[in-house]
Amino acid sequence: MDAVSEALAVCPPGVRTAVDRLPMRERVEELRFRSGRPVAVRCGEKETALPGSLADGAMLSEILSHATGQALYAAQEMLKGGFVTIPGGHRLGICGTGVYRDGTVQTLREISSLNLRIARQIRGAADEAADALWAHPVSTLVLGAPGSGKTTLLRDLVRQCSDRFGWPMCVADERMELAACRSGAAQFDLGAHTDVLSGIAKGTAIEMLLRSMNPRWIAVDEITAEADARALLRAANCGVRLLATAHGTSAADLRRRSVYRPLVESGVFQTLLILRQDKSFRAERAAL
């Protein structure tokens, strides 16, 4: 089964049929379901209405029910984070009204929109990056705008480091996108020498990996919090090399953001891979 068919399995039959008829079906990256609006399909930067489709509350409930195996109570931790990972590693983002208890989000209700992101494993996506990493095995940060392919590149880079080079790799897969483990089995191939810790905040997961797995390399997707940066810096100080992604377009862009300040000041990442919109990248070999 191809990636689009896997992701569409949670959708109503009418939506699946309409997507299958699209001439750009194989390039579909996201489906957006906004209550009261036509279903939208995104390919690259363009979002278009899916012919003959209209999302409503019943459709959103049906999709979410399929995505959670009709057991919402079993997916509460994911719902707190606003997403559900479905078979094949695809992710269903969720918007609605937050339910708080004791100052923390417990779940979401009154669901207003869903975003079905189609995940793909593109073997060879990181060929050039892996060759460069073999020549200069140093901590590397992948920068790019949303949708530029950061996760896809990092996924293949981890796989190649593991399988081509035989390097022991550890992955802190907080949002279960890199490996997308379900029932302990990775939905994506990250290599024979890779250990994955899923569903735990990156800062905590990195500390756990340092204590328990004797990592040589640690990979994380999307540095978004100061706790992430502090944990990565601690790992680097323990002699671990790092692979990570972050939103940004340049080293100067990183310097303007407080969350990255500890990493910028330490110079822990010695190589930047800066993604362009066409999925290609340029490398900078200077410390931050």
pLDDT in tens, 118-127: 999 999 999 9
* pLDDT at residue 187 greater than cutoff 80: yes
Residue 55 DSSP one-character state = -
> In this predicted structure, what is the pLDDT of residue 280?
80
Q: Which range is least confidently modeled, 58-62, 195-199, 208-212, 284-288?
A: 284-288
> In this predicted structure, what is the pLDDT of residue 113?
96
pLDDT in tens, 33-44: 999 999 999 998
CB-count exposure of residue 31 (10 Å: 0-12, 13-18, 19+): buried
* pLDDT at residue 89 greater than cutoff 60: yes
Type and span of the H or E element at 186: none
* pLDDT at residue 288 greater than cutoff 60: no
For residues 45 and 68, give the distance between their C-alpha atoms in angstroms, rounded to a whole number.
29
> In this predicted structure, what is the pLDDT of residue 72?
58
pLDDT in tens, 67-76: 887 565 556 7
By C-alpha distance, which of 269, 245, 271 is closest to 143? Answer: 245
* pLDDT at residue 286 greater than cutoff 80: no
Pick 108 or 19 by higher pLDDT: 19
For residues 6 and 118, give the distance between their C-alpha atoms in angstroms, rounded to a whole number.
9
> In this predicted structure, what is the pLDDT of residue 131?
95
Rounded to two decimals, the pTM is 0.85
For residues 288 and 269, give the distance between their C-alpha atoms in angstroms, rounded to a whole number.
7
Residue 150 contacts residue 243 (beta carbons within 8 Å)? no
Structure tokens belonging to residue 220: 């994380």
Positive or negative, the Cα torsion across 263, 269, 270, 275? Answer: negative
For residues 228 and 260, give the distance between their C-alpha atoms in angstroms, rounded to a whole number.
9
* pLDDT at residue 278 greater than cutoff 80: no
> In this predicted structure, what is the pLDDT of residue 53?
92
Residue 157 contacts residue 130 (beta carbons within 8 Å)? yes
* pLDDT at residue 205 greater than cutoff 90: yes
Type and span of the H or E element at 57: helix 57-67
For residues 189 and 179, give the distance between their C-alpha atoms in angstroms, rounded to a whole number.
7
How many Å from the N-terminal Cα to the C-terminal Cα in the chain?
42
3-class SS of residue 13:
helix
pLDDT band at 197 (very low <50, low <70, confident <90, very high): very high
Cα R_g (the chain), whole angstroms:
19
* pLDDT at residue 264 greater than cutoff 90: no
> In this predicted structure, what is the pLDDT of residue 207?
95
- Name the pairing type of β-strands 169-173 and 30-34: unpaired
pLDDT band at 263 (very low <50, low <70, confident <90, very high): confident
Side-chain-side CA neighbours of 63 within 13 Å: the count stands at 33
pLDDT in tens, 5-30: 999 999 999 999 999 999 999 999 99
When mean pLDDT is compared over 82-86, 143-147, 159-163, the highest value belongs to 159-163
Residue 143 contacts residue 248 (beta carbons within 8 Å)? yes
Residue 45 DSSP one-character state = T
